[in-house]
Chains A and B, each alone.
Chain A
Amino acid sequence: MQFQCPHCNAQFETQRSGRQFCPNCGQQIDVAAPPAGPAAGAAPTSGPGFRTPMSGAAPPSGGEVPPIGPPPPGWMPPGGPPPTGGPPPPRGPSFRQDTPWERRKELGFLPALAETWKQTVSSPEQFFASVRPDGRWEDAFLYGWLLAIVGFVGGLILRIPFQAMLAEQMRRSLDVLSSMRNLPPEAQRYLAMFIGGRPVMQVWWTVLQIILWPIAMFIGAALVHLFCIVFGCAGNGFWATFRALAYAQAPMVLAAFAPVPCVGWLIAFAGWAFTVVLQIWAVMRLQETSAGKAAAAVLATPVLGCCCCCGGGFLLGGALKSMVSGGS
């Protein structure tokens, strides 16, 4: 049915009635049921502004939007996860609130961080169903960045006891890889210097990772949102995708265990795989779309990337095989 946004007067088509976001201005609106007329029944709420898919400033943070009228002064969202019981609405939940991290001034910095991480990992359905798509992207960004820093620094600390062994493994890998392709001498020199195992180089690499993470986050969100548009699941705008991906970073702290021999890479891989699952879950809930579309949007970029560099899997497999056979 056709509906006209009472805020920006833009007309758009929607398949359902009830509370949703205008695809143009991002304001939360109530679409009346079909018998009320195709373009009537809009009951604007006083929810915070919401960025459009193309641009938009960060809206002021606020609590949950009450059904009618502005919240009373001093109103705070209820604490804890949203109530459970019963299936969620067919087109996504409408119970949204600030995450514990977004209430860190009230809860305290570390408790809010820990509580958000715990909810993300232990009850993702409840958590992502309650995250507001129109919240401040800066909060989600800071949360993801802090977890990334924890992971990078933790990995650096865990790498120290296994430094010599890891450096030897990397050297042998480089030898195998260099024999397969003619690497430019400069590239060989830089790679050798990087994997040489010098602690200073490892520290610099960690610092570089911390600095580059925000850029990677924006690039990843842009690509996923691009595919969200392609697959028709970008209704809540770019920053909803961004917040989904940032909050889904929680399991990546497990990547810190990657340097631990034998089981480290398994733990890191499990963390990465869980992150991908959470990203799909988060996009599904924050963009209020189906699991299939969310999975397609999230997985399209790595699948496309695999087309370019999946040969690396075979080469690395060959390198590992050579190392194992050489070591036995």
Chain B
Amino acid sequence: MTIVWPKPNRDVGFIDAVALTGLCGLLVARFVPVARLPFWGCALRQHTGWPCPGCGLTRAAEGVAHLHLAAAWAANPLGTLAALAFAAAIVVSVLHLALKMPLPHLLPTQREARALRLALAAVVVVNYAYIIFKAKFAALL
């Protein structure tokens, strides 16, 4: 993997957009009772009893926004990591825009990129397995 460090700059880019996304999402999770909205809920779980891969994302975001990390992790581990990554993006973006902190360009080779994608897919599958296990076989825990 090649890492290139540009000169200090305040150029708006992808990380800043991700930070904006994270900021909005975490603010909503912090101050809006999203789970109590009338249209919120997993139809798959309501009708079949089986969770979907995204089940627990709302509770994970709310947990991170309220700094209840254990509850967030229990709801959806991968969602918790994603919410923490968005929070980290906010910090990085603030440093970048305020202090001209350069953001490195990460350039993985094709093989590394493929390996990263496979690893991500595996993590998603493991996370889904955990959610299913917790929802359907919680008694075994």
Q: Which residues of A contact B (CB under 8 A)?
A: 8, 10-13, 23-24, 51-57, 177-178, 180-184, 187, 215, 218-219, 221-223, 225-226, 230-232, 237-239, 242, 304, 307-316
Contacts and interface: CB of A to CB of B under 8 A. Distances in A.
B63 to A, nearest CB: 15
A222 B56 CA distance: 22
A218 B38 contact: no
B42 A178 contact: no
B39 A219 contact: no
B39 A57 contact: no
B54 A54 contact: no
| Most chain A C-beta atoms within 10 Å of own C-beta, residue among B12, B15, B16, B20 | B12
A272 B35 CA distance: 26
Interface string B28-52: 0000010011111111101000001
B107 to A, nearest CB: 6
Majority-rule SS of A interface residues: helix
B110 to A, nearest CB: 5
Contacts of B20: 215, 218-219, 222
Interface in B8-37: 9, 11-18, 20-21, 24, 33, 36-37
B105 A54 contact: yes
B91 interface: no
Given A53-B105, A215-B20, A184 B33 contact: yes
Contact of B58 (A56, A180, A237, A308): A308
Contacts of A180: 38
Interface of B: 2, 4, 6, 9, 11-18, 20-21, 24, 33, 36-44, 46, 52-55, 57-58, 96, 103-107, 109-110, 113-114, 117, 120
Contacts of A56: 11, 13
Contacts of B57: 304, 307-308
Contact of A51 (B11, B42, B120): B11
A312 B15 contact: no
Contact of B13 (A219, A232, A238, A307): A238
